[in-house]
Amino acid sequence: MPALVSIIPSAHLAEVRYEIRGALTRRARELEAAGLDIIKLNIGNPGRYGFEAPAHLRNAIAGHLRDSEAYGHEQGLEVAREAIAAQQRARGARGVEPERIFIGNGVSELIDLSLRALLHPGDEVLLPSPDYPLWSAATILNGGQPRYYRCLAENGHLPDPDEVESLITPRTRALVLINPNNPTGAVYPRTLLERLVAIAVRHRLLLLCDEIYDEILYDDATFQPLAEVAGELPCLSFGGLSKVHRACGYRVGWMSLSGNPVRSASYRDAMQLLAALRLCANVTAQWAVIPALQDAPTIGTLTAPGGRLHEARRAVLQGVAASRYLDLVTPDGALYAFPQVRADHFPAFDDEAFALRLLEQESVLIVPGSSFNVPGSHHFRLTLLPAPAQLSEVFARIERVLAQMASEQPQRSAAAVA
């Protein structure tokens, strides 16, 4: 009998990371199996925290079960695409018609599809650091090279347009924005978007904007759709049901191709080919798109003062303010906070070691900042979805771990402290 040989995975995966569901999550499952109660702050999954999709979305699905048993159009149900196109046009997007809308099994599938249709081997994509790591993974797996522009805390986690432009080479094909931002909660002002669009115009870049959190805004924050600013420049805008409508498990996302149709006609056809190869997206859940976009919005009661998300955010802000070791740029949107452990207390901070220690000592699961392609990170991400009281308890546990870590550090000299 021949000797067994190990199966070698694809070399493409060597640079791919997704620690949001990675080694720390596997360790958390082991601890749960041993009987521990883990507070999971690693994933923006509303249904796991008691949030429910609006009833009118469920009713739309239930009323169309018999209409969902055959394969659908490769780009999605026409009535759903018409609703998405109408929303995009109402937001100022140009050139948007149902044939330029693609519905997928979540935005995740469409990110991969859009980059697969675009990239030649070695092409470069400008990505934010921190990024949502699926963007990096999809770029690498489709033969591209990520080039990261920094979104530093000292700049409110907003990009510097001059730095973005300095990274462009003859191989750069696209500029990716995430607004409102995951993981930082930053919301991009129109003036910044105008400067970034001008860069894309000068260098003939495709714009791709992940806008899945478009209506999750706090206090006076305002969402500016990129497509309206982009005008005739080709722009892909991504949205879906998972966050604003608390329906992650429906796996319904969409992307809208705006701008001059002539410039992007071949690219649109390439995406249609790839969409056809996967036959179609889940038909059943697509019936929820129409009421989601046409009926009264439901997220505002959660994000307004007194709403659960707003109060969870308040608990995070209070926890950071009370900490000796943490700083935070206040998140203006999305479902996350991205606190920073102060470098003056921990100059040689290891975010992964901290996250593991927090998990094993205090049963709290977070995501290290380095998981979002931030080198030398002092950050970590946590979701705002738990109840405010639980988040207050989380920060008490974080403070205990950081205090223990601080006590274990070598004492610095008075001169060094000065």
> pLDDT for 242-270, tens place per residue?
999 999 999 999 999 999 999 999 999 99
CA atoms of 209 and 200, how far apart (whole Å): 13
pTM confidence score: 0.92
Tell me: the pLDDT tens digits for 360-375?
999 999 999 999 999 8
Q: Outline where DSSP puts E strands in 68-150.
A: 101-104, 124-129, 145-150
- Written as six digits, the tokens of 240 are 């879906």
Let me know: does 150 contact 393? Beta carbons within 8 Å: no
**In order of start, what are the domains of the chain with their CATH numbers?**
11-51+301-407 (3.90.1150.10), 69-294 (3.40.640.10)
- How much is the pLDDT for 414? 40
Tell me: the pLDDT tens digits for 144-179?
999 999 999 999 999 999 999 999 999 999 999 999
With a CB cutoff of 8 Å and minimum separation 6, the contacts of 301 are 307
CA atoms of 130 and 282, how far apart (whole Å): 31
Strand 235-240 relative to strand 326-327: parallel, antiparallel, unpaired?
unpaired
Tell me: the pLDDT tens digits for 320-349?
999 999 999 999 999 999 999 999 999 889
For the chain, the average pLDDT equals 93
Res. 287: pLDDT tops 50: yes
Mean pLDDT of 277-302: 94
